[in-house]
Structure 1
Amino acid sequence: MTTEDAPKSRMARDVELLWGLESPPRRRGPKPRLSREVVVRAALDVADAEGIEAVSMQRVSKELGYTTMSLYRHVDSKEDLLVLMIDTAMEGDPPGPRADGDWRAGLEEWCHSVLELYRHRPWVVRLSFSGPPGGPNGLRWMESGLRELVGSGLDVGEAVQMLLLLSSALRESVRLETDMADAARTTGNTPVEVERDYSRSLRRVVTEEEFPTIALMLHEQVLEPRPTAQATEGTGEPTHELDFGIRRVLDGIESYVRTSGTIGGA
Structure 2
Amino acid sequence: MTSDERPAGTTREIELLWGRRETPRRGPKPKLSRAAVVEAAVAVADAEGLDAVSMQRVARELGFTTMSLYRHVDSKEDLLVFMQDAAMSQHPAGPRDDGDWRAGTEEWCHGALAQYRRHPWAAYVPQSGPPSGPNGLRWMEAGLREIAASGLDAPESLQILLLLTYSLRDLFRMEQDIARAARERGVPLDNEGDEWVRGLRGVLDPEEYPTLLWTLDQGTFAEEPPGYREEDGAMGGLGFAIQRILDGVDAYVRSTGRDRAGD
TM-score tier (shorter): over 0.9
Cα 1:212–1:251, aligned 2, differ >3 Å: closer, same or farther?
A: same
Matched, 1:262 2:258: yes
Q: Which runs of 4+ in 1 moved over 3 A?
A: 5-9, 231-237
Matched position secondary structure for 2:91? coil
Q: Note the alpha carbon deviations across 1:222-247, whole angstroms, 9 max, x for none.
A: 11245xxxx64469853430100011
Q: Which residue of 2 aligns with 1:210?
A: 208
Q: Which residue of 1 aligns with 2:236?
A: 240
Is contact 1:125-1:175 (8 Å) kept?
Answer: yes
Q: CA deviation at 1:10?
A: 1.3
Is contact 2:175-2:235 (8 Å) kept?
Answer: no
Matched position secondary structure for 1:119? helix
Counterparts of 1:19 and 1:105, CA distance in 2:
32
Q: Which residue of 2 aligns with 1:130?
A: 128
Q: Which residue of 2 aligns with 1:249?
A: 245
Q: Note the alpha carbon deviations across 1:28-56, whole angstroms, 9 max, x for none.
A: x3321111111111101111111110000
Q: Which amino acid aligns with 1:238?
A: A
Q: CA deviation at 1:188?
A: 2.2
Is contact 1:254-1:265 (8 Å) kept?
Answer: no
TM-score (norm: length of structure 1): 0.92
Cα 1:233–1:25, aligned 2, differ >3 Å: closer, same or farther?
A: closer
Q: Which residue of 1 aligns with 2:24?
A: 25
Total equivalences in the alignment: 257
Counterparts of 1:73 and 1:64, CA distance in 2:
14
Counterparts of 1:21 and 1:67, CA distance in 2:
26
One of 157, 180, 183 as aligned partner of 1:182? 180
Q: Which residue of 1 aligns with 2:8?
A: 9
Counterparts of 2:42 and 2:209, CA distance in 1:
45
Q: Which amino acid aligns with 1:21?
A: R
Gapped regions of structure 2 (runs ≥ 5): none
Q: List aligned pairs for 1:148-187, cutoff 5 A.
A: 148-187=146-185
Counterparts of 2:39 and 2:73, CA distance in 1:
12
Counterparts of 1:63 and 1:177, CA distance in 2:
30
Matched position secondary structure for 1:61? helix
Counterparts of 2:148 and 2:48, CA distance in 1:
39
Q: List aligned pairs for 1:191-230, cutoff 5 A.
A: 191-225=189-223
Counterparts of 1:162 and 1:38, CA distance in 2:
36
One of 81, 89, 98 as aligned partner of 1:83? 81
Q: Which amino acid aligns with 2:245?
A: V
Q: CA deviation at 1:6?
A: 6.3
Q: CA deviation at 1:104?
A: 0.5
* RMSD (CA atoms): 1.7
Q: Which amino acid aligns with 2:142?
A: S
Matched position secondary structure for 1:193? helix
TM-score (norm: length of structure 2): 0.93
Matched position secondary structure for 1:25? coil
Q: CA deviation at 1:205?
A: 1.5
Q: Which amino acid aligns with 2:17?
A: L
Cα 1:234–1:48, aligned 2, differ >3 Å: closer, same or farther?
A: closer
One of 38, 41, 47 as aligned partner of 2:45? 47
Is contact 1:257-1:265 (8 Å) kept?
Answer: no
Q: Which residue of 1 aligns with 2:106?
A: 108
